[in-house]
Structure 1
């Protein structure tokens, strides 16, 4: 069958099920299952097979189809709803309740599952859960039917179909707030961030009292690293709802983003004093304390979160992610027990796997550690629509578009202020940032999203980015450079230079050269096996989707290396490559080299960088608050037997 034939067969099965033509549906399903299907088609067919099996009373067969489906897509809400229906039919009420909960967790638009949960909560006299279910059902019932349907499509990852439904509705109901918010959320998932931001900003202007719009807008601003604006939105929301603890927490999160840690910590403490049973807020408090350098207090906050909710995976991962914490035997056993529990949520399971990987690595149990790292990465990867081939093509497009002729055109803003540190995550960029931020003429900031945001805005032009870089006029280049400086001003103090440590900016060096020709760029390199394996062990808060497969991360490293070779060829002397191992072996020599490249005089404070007090929000925060050490080198060696696929791509 062709792909088109398969889609037509899938539609015919849906129609047959709607008409209760089960024999016909089952025959078509068997025919489809014998075909070579894409993963998306396989998910669709398995779901229909589960429905058909349940309707014919074949509950074990239905379970088998659902198990296979969830192994491909562990976040498939409707699969959990089907699972719940089967448990109900078998009078397994507790399992059914758990499955209905999972269904609404992954697809909050499933009215049937919410109704089932409401009955369960009423039966158990769980007032808080009952109120939540009633509130969600009231909201879903208030939505226009097409928008509810579009939400369902979006949660099931059918983004194109959801977008079509939403745009069709908006063409007839201009400025409908729920439709605008939904279209923005679809835009976020499609990574069309500038469109999503415009929609939410417009929605907030049109409906300033709409709390859902305000929360969505602030959430997107934080995702994009636009924390100064996020603080503004949060304060406006809090003025409308001064007693709303969720809004208080969101303000604190935004304040951490701009480095106003004391006010953020005070807010977290005030909310937790009122109600200490808030595990996620304890974790947020821990993050703020860790960024400030109060590691011991951060650990207490993370441990408190785990005490309030023993299955809260983020609490354990946050402890592991300090890189200095050692789990006790009791806590390791507790984590393993929680991971085995049938009611543990997917996100918690992912966090627990990474935490257990770190815990057993610290005990030199490489086999067990790697088993958990693999399991966590596999679960995470199955929730992401990532294709390494598309990323490789995008990096090749940068090299093709930004040829030597274009890179020799000098325009843009003349300011020499920014020092960009680029490369792969876990390559030693935080150490370089800390060294430079210890200089009296340099402000340390954080991983700023502004170049990525400018690149995203250029993607919406008639000619695709990066090919439209050649079409930018001198005036446009100057304006974009000035825009970057204006947007990043809030993160600076009074030094003449500042650091932007967003690793992914290596992709956009051509854009940087066009709009900020006097900027400095430092490429942080590390032994590829150490760098890639360190990335594989890291559960990132956002992005870095290539890191959840050893093959993907190896291919990404090679594509990065190839693109950096291109930048060096077309921009000689514009980029300084700093090898992490060289810094460890010859700190002073490398520091002098880096400072000379940046046009900065030598200052001995850069050698005692670990004494510099500043906000650090990356996983390496504790590692750069101590003198140089070499124990991070060759950490992949104990796992060598499991890394053949990676070694075949990047070598040693």
Structure 2
């Protein structure tokens, strides 16, 4: 039988040692406690805490583990074990323990905090969101949970939801300047620029600008076309914090890779700093690649682009988001058969916003075409909206669950819901008769578009596939496009896109980028005629339009078109051989990007 006086004496000794800061003595005292009372879960948890306090995380983890083995509902032991495992770098085990702790005690603060850190390191955004929602279920106004939920939603591309979650943070702490800056940054992701500017103004009213606020200000200025001010703000962000990687990347973009030696040296130093998140080191490598490419140092530029993509490949693997070739091929086979029979098109109302859809591969000229159209007084450019892509995903899932059915069988009420949601998204834009959606993923959705909006113009833009593929490879596209980290995967995806374009995209909708460059006015007139718009001379000066542009082409479309185009294949040779070889294998015309005869056994 345990002598309770003995355990009380050792506990008292441990408490005194902890107050004095003698963690070794405290741990020794707790070891005597568990020796005397080995079946008490709480005692093992206290030993785990003592070992953790003296940085002995292996011993701490063992003690905590014994604690929750004795009592699986001991949330303190589970959370403590998670903290020890996180300190040892085992974030997978840490996350599992935190999720178990929160099942037992949803309001356990330490379990949530460690779980959020583990999920962040693993880039497990769905797990982070689930833990945040569990905590918010018992503490609806918890700032840390709201911030984690917004972070997870933002990283998952759910920008509107992220803004809604973080708005509650600033509403509960209206004097927190840093929170307003973060909210402004989230608004950028949601294309809500006016709200972002409002949030940034509030932050600057409360406190001096920080690196983050300078950077966010620069991002807004770049989107709105004030490129010189954007460069100044980005440089100010660098001066405010020499370790703030995003500011360097933005500055390099604005200067088109032509920066001074000091900036280049800082990027070279920071890109190897293990303390920075992987996505920041990847972005710095992309920026360094741009600097070297502008200096015509192509071998080192390509090495930097490859290092950037290697880091990103690792991040995608951690998130379970690698590009799956067989999945892309299977989706094409499934949906082209599924869409052979289509539902009756909706009847459009005269007072509805009129969408114009620009589709094609990223970096193929979609932003240029949007800018030409948005220079027209009746047109607003909305950028890359997600509404059609979300509906397409739902339809694809339904097709998978209902093998043998066709698009004509898809529930009408769901089509009506997607149509209503998309129109609601358009109505958030500034008043304009026509609104341009240039979401590249919509090349898979011609049948859906023709059903929901039968009179909507569809514009298919295509560009030399080698230039398109290389431009994708040298930019940080992977959050939206997992194939972007590998030249051979880019080529494969281009081949799938080419098959979609041949099978689904309406004839007569094609605008070849190279033709636009050679005969700009004639092609611009054809573009407006295709959309049912009267000619307007302002479309020839699209680069002077002050509308927002939030894509990688934001700086390029603020300048007149340049007719001279470099031959990337001749310039880079063997460096892009995997891309060129992959395009040949996909049977894509290397000059135009047009699909040749179908070669792949797309099963």
TM-score after normalising by structure 2: 0.72
Q: Give 1:252-331 correspondences, 5 Å limit.
A: 252-257=184-189, 261=193, 264-265=196-197, 267-268=199-200, 271=203, 278-322=210-254, 324=256, 326-331=258-263
CA deviation profile, 1:465-515 (whole Å, cap 9, x unmatched)? 99784542333322321222113321x222222111111222343443444
Is the 2:256–2:294 Cα contact (8 Å) retained in structure 1? no
Among 439, 442, 445, which residue is 1:502 paired with?
439
CA deviation profile, 1:345-375 (whole Å, cap 9, x unmatched)? 5344322211111111111111121121122
Structure 2 gap segments, 5+ residues each: 1-47, 58-73, 585-589, 591-603
Among 599, 607, 613, which residue is 2:532 paired with?
599
Shift of 1:236: 3.1
1:421 equivalent to 2:358? Answer: yes
SS at match of 2:430: coil
Q: Structure 1 384/404 Cα, relative in aligned 2: closer, same or farther at 3 Å?
A: closer
Among 488, 502, 505, which residue is 2:426 paired with?
488
Shift of 1:208: 2.9
Give the Cα–Cα distance (whole angstroms) in 2 for the partners of residues 316 and 254 of structure 1.
20
SS at match of 2:563: coil
Aligned to 1:359: 291
SS at match of 2:316: coil
Shift of 1:260: 5.4
Give the Cα–Cα distance (whole angstroms) in 1 for the partners of residues 539 and 213 of structure 2.
35
Among 529, 550, 554, which residue is 1:617 paired with?
550
Q: Structure 1 576/353 Cα, relative in aligned 2: closer, same or farther at 3 Å?
A: same
Aligned residues: 512
Aligned to 1:567: 504
Shift of 1:429: 0.8
Is the 1:411–1:477 Cα contact (8 Å) retained in structure 2? no
Give the Cα–Cα distance (whole angstroms) in 2 for the partners of residues 165 and 509 of structure 1.
44
Among 285, 308, 318, which residue is 1:376 paired with?
308
1:445 equivalent to 2:378? Answer: no
Give the Cα–Cα distance (whole angstroms) in 1 for the partners of residues 509 and 50 of structure 2.
58
Q: Give 1:33-48 correspondences, 5 Å limit.
A: none
Is the 1:446–1:616 Cα contact (8 Å) retained in structure 2? yes
Deviates more, 1:290-299 or 1:530-539: 290-299
Q: Structure 1 450/262 Cα, relative in aligned 2: closer, same or farther at 3 Å?
A: closer
1:333 equivalent to 2:270? Answer: no
Is the 1:392–1:556 Cα contact (8 Å) retained in structure 2? no
Aligned to 1:402: 336
Shift of 1:530: 0.4
Q: Structure 1 329/116 Cα, relative in aligned 2: closer, same or farther at 3 Å?
A: farther
Give the Cα–Cα distance (whole angstroms) in 1 for the partners of residues 162 and 244 of structure 2.
27
Among 393, 412, 432, which residue is 2:369 paired with?
432
Is the 1:234–1:251 Cα contact (8 Å) retained in structure 2? yes
Aligned to 1:350: 282
Give the Cα–Cα distance (whole angstroms) in 1 for the partners of residues 283 and 251 of structure 2.
11
SS at match of 2:510: strand
1:548 equivalent to 2:485? Answer: yes
Among 457, 462, 467, which residue is 1:525 paired with?
462
Q: Structure 1 383/617 Cα, relative in aligned 2: closer, same or farther at 3 Å?
A: same
Q: Structure 1 566/241 Cα, relative in aligned 2: closer, same or farther at 3 Å?
A: same
CA deviation profile, 1:32-65 (whole Å, cap 9, x unmatched)? xxxxxxxxxxxxxxxxxxxxxxxxxxxxxxxxxx
Q: Give 1:170-319 correspondences, 5 Å limit.
A: 207-219=139-151, 222=154, 230-257=162-189, 261=193, 264-265=196-197, 267-268=199-200, 271=203, 278-319=210-251
Is the 1:249–1:268 Cα contact (8 Å) retained in structure 2? yes
Deviates more, 1:415-424 or 1:556-565: 415-424
Is the 2:81–2:97 Cα contact (8 Å) retained in structure 1? no
Give the Cα–Cα distance (whole angstroms) in 2 for the partners of residues 239 and 250 of structure 1.
13
CA deviation profile, 1:155-193 (whole Å, cap 9, x unmatched)? 96869x968995x8788779999889979x989x99998
> Which one has a bigger Cα radius of gyration?
2
Aligned to 1:35: none
Shift of 1:340: 5.0
Aligned to 1:557: 494
Shift of 1:305: 2.2
Is the 2:357–2:436 Cα contact (8 Å) retained in structure 1? yes
Is the 1:181–1:200 Cα contact (8 Å) retained in structure 2? no
Shift of 1:585: 0.9
Aligned to 1:535: 472
Shift of 1:641: 2.9
Is the 2:212–2:237 Cα contact (8 Å) retained in structure 1? yes
Q: Give 1:12-27 correspondences, 5 Å limit.
A: none
Shift of 1:617: 0.9
Is the 2:342–2:408 Cα contact (8 Å) retained in structure 1? no
Q: Give 1:48-87 correspondences, 5 Å limit.
A: none
TM-score after normalising by structure 1: 0.67
Give the Cα–Cα distance (whole angstroms) in 2 for the partners of residues 449 and 463 of structure 1.
21
Deviates more, 1:498-507 or 1:255-264: 255-264
SS at match of 1:324: coil
SS at match of 2:315: coil
